[in-house]
Copies of this chain bind each other. A is one copy, B any other.
């Protein structure tokens, strides 16, 4: 089951939320925690990671908070996944030229894996935060609760 972690899921949700808020600027973690229902420490952790990756900008001190560092159209899903989940690497041998697969000594699949991995990254990078926020703002009428 190829699945990304819950933190990533949550993180994308938080980013979407912030994008929908528009350029309202600073949003603090406590506020987001209250609005989404997820525990404050968890929100903090996620926002911090996103900030370290340069996707958010933080302002400390009393009136502080987080804000999107770039235009939502310049932030891709790939960026967020990268920030929260680490680099996309389908197998161990993706990335550098070293094939570490313990067994299958000379399997020679490294090139293929790299290619597939790259295509996957492109797919993720082709989705922007703006797109996710836009569609999320006008959900299909027969949504679950609404």
| A123-B120 in contact given A13-B104, A37-B104, A104-B36 (Cβ < 8 Å) | yes
Task: Tell me the residues in window 33-81 of chain A with beta carbons closer than 8 Å to chain B beta carbons.
Answer: 36-38, 77, 81
Contact A111 B140 (CB under 8 A): yes
Q: Which residues of B lie under 8 Å from residue A16 when comparing CB positions?
A: 107, 109
A residues in contact (CB < 8 Å) with B: 1-4, 6, 9-10, 12-14, 16-17, 36-38, 77, 81, 85-92, 97-99, 101-109, 111-112, 116, 119-120, 123-124, 127, 131-132, 135-137, 139-140, 143-146
Give me 11 other A-B pairs in contact (C-beta within 8 A), A13-B104, A106-B145 excluded: A2-B88, A3-B89, A10-B103, A13-B103, A17-B104, A37-B102, A37-B103, A38-B103, A77-B116, A111-B136, A112-B127
Q: Which residues of B lie under 8 Å from residue A10 when comparing CB positions?
A: 103-104
